[in-house]
Amino acid sequence: MRNARLTSLRLARSSSSRMLPRTTVAAMSTSADGSSALSVAAQRLRSPVTWISASATLGALYGLYQFQYTRQLTTQRMAGRPDLGGDFALVDWDGKPVSSKDLVGKWVLLYFGFTKCPDICPDELHKVTAVLKRLENQGQSIQPVFITIDPTRDTKARLKSYFETAGFHPRFIALTGDDAAVKKACRAYRVYFTKPTPEEIKRGDYLLDHSIISYLVDPEGEFADYYGKSLTEDEMFTRVGKLMGDWERQKWWDSVLPAFMATPQMTEGQKRAAEAAKPGNRSAA
């Protein structure tokens, strides 16, 4: 009789053990170091969320650093930048009106000169052409613009013939206008040039002394930099390319910085993982 009772008791204990839910058994078990299996599972589930958050934070901090660095360089450049640039309204060699507002949205490289210039102007325009082609090879595009300082001789027909045969960049836009319109454009960029005398105009064989500078204008229509005759092609290429790159990066960060500064929002998957990893949540096991 006693043996029968012992057998019944063993069977009851065995049956009771099999009926316990797996989550309960998992919660009751311990690892070698004394930590519960639930805690180990929770730590594993918490780790991905932690790494994601850390990566996002580091990325945001690095991005903010780059943004501030670029802005600091821009501020330093702006502090020493002359107050140049302004509106102008001229015509191209087809008689089409072209104003400074028509060029907004593009990088522009302006050069003031005259087609009767024997050497300096052609040399500078060839240098500009070489720089623009090198920039195009690395994906940076600039609109070259020539503005005459000699509207008396640089008629629309003269500009067309000159730029179609001189071997300059094919995208050059050459502009002219009446004396008042040309002078306004020159004043905006502080271009110096001598005026021919009436006798020289009558003879038509005069030369003009003038500023030898190329002006870079950004896509917002603001003066960005200038390059004199002493600057080599390589130096001009490096300066223009770097300035364009810095400007584009700053504008990109201006557009995305609000998203970096906003409180990060967790995805649904991250929310579920975080909820499952909470201490005491048995589903984590």
Asked if 159 and 173 count as a contact pair (C-beta separation under 8 A), the reply is no
Least confident range from 46-60, 118-132, 202-216, 234-248: namely: 46-60
Domain membership flag for residue 154:
yes
Q: How would residue 222 be classed by pLDDT, with cut points 50, 70 and 90? A: very high
Question: Would you call 112 helix, strand, or coil by DSSP?
Answer: strand
Asked if 237 and 131 count as a contact pair (C-beta separation under 8 A), the reply is yes
Domain membership flag for residue 77:
no
Chain centre to alpha carbon of residue 38: 49
Domain membership flag for residue 118:
yes
Q: Cα(275)–Cα(262) distance, rounded to whole angstroms?
A: 23
pLDDT of 263 > 90? The answer is: no
pLDDT of res. 185: 97
CATH number at residue 171: 3.40.30.10
pLDDT of res. 31: 47
Q: Which domain holds residue 195?
A: 87-247
Is 186 within any annotated ligand binding site? Answer: no
Give pLDDT tens digits for 142-187. Answer: 999 999 999 999 999 999 999 999 999 999 999 999 999 999 999 9
Domain membership flag for residue 72:
no
Is 117 within any annotated ligand binding site? Answer: yes
Q: Cα(84)–Cα(223) distance, rounded to whole angstroms?
A: 6
Asked if 128 and 144 count as a contact pair (C-beta separation under 8 A), the reply is yes
pLDDT of res. 216: 98
Domain membership flag for residue 21:
no
pLDDT of res. 277: 61
- As for how many domains the chain has, the answer is 1
pLDDT of res. 67: 56
pLDDT of res. 45: 47
Give pLDDT tens digits for 115-151. Answer: 999 999 999 999 999 999 999 999 999 999 999 999 9
Q: Cα(34)–Cα(24) distance, rounded to whole angstroms?
A: 17
Domain membership flag for residue 188:
yes
For residues 77 and 272, which has the higher predicted lDDT (pLDDT)? Answer: 272
Domain membership flag for residue 155:
yes
pLDDT of 285 > 70? The answer is: no
Give pLDDT tens digits for 49-99. Answer: 565 665 555 565 555 555 555 555 555 455 456 678 899 999 999 999 999
- Please identify which residue in the block is written with the tokens 């015509």: 91
Report the share of the chain in percent with pLDDT over 70. 61
pTM of the entire predicted model? 0.65
Domain membership flag for residue 179:
yes
